[in-house]
Amino acid sequence: MNAREESLQRTEKEILAEKAATLGRAGERLEAALRLCAELRQDLGRAPAIAREAALARYRDARRRALEARHTLIIQREAIGLRNHRLVDQQFPEPPALS
């Protein structure tokens, strides 16, 4: 293998590593957003009636951010050629809409 081929191989490995890292970071952001939704949903269940609207607003905002993070993860997956998102649906289900 000549120097040019070795250089190309190194560059390809770096690109793959960066794709994997980016996908991992997107997954971590989504996990954190879903954890926050779960916590806020529990808080909502324990909130006194007077504080319910504020707790619901916090949950809705966290849910919106979780849905954005989920969408970003799906975009990252598609960017690397993963088109089937059934695993995302199973591992990272959307937080429920609450009223």
Average pLDDT on 73-95 reads 92
Q: Residue 59's pLDDT band (boundaries 50, 70, 90)?
A: very high
pTM: 0.84
Q: Residue 60's pLDDT band (boundaries 50, 70, 90)?
A: very high
Average pLDDT on 6-34 reads 92
Alpha helices in the chain, H assignment, sequence order: 3-46, 52-79, 86-91
Inform me whether the pLDDT recorded for 97 exceeds 80: yes
Phi-psi region of 87 (alpha: psi -120 to 50; beta: other; left: phi over 0): alpha
Q: What mean pLDDT, rounded, does the chain reach? A: 93
Q: What is the pLDDT of residue 2?
A: 87
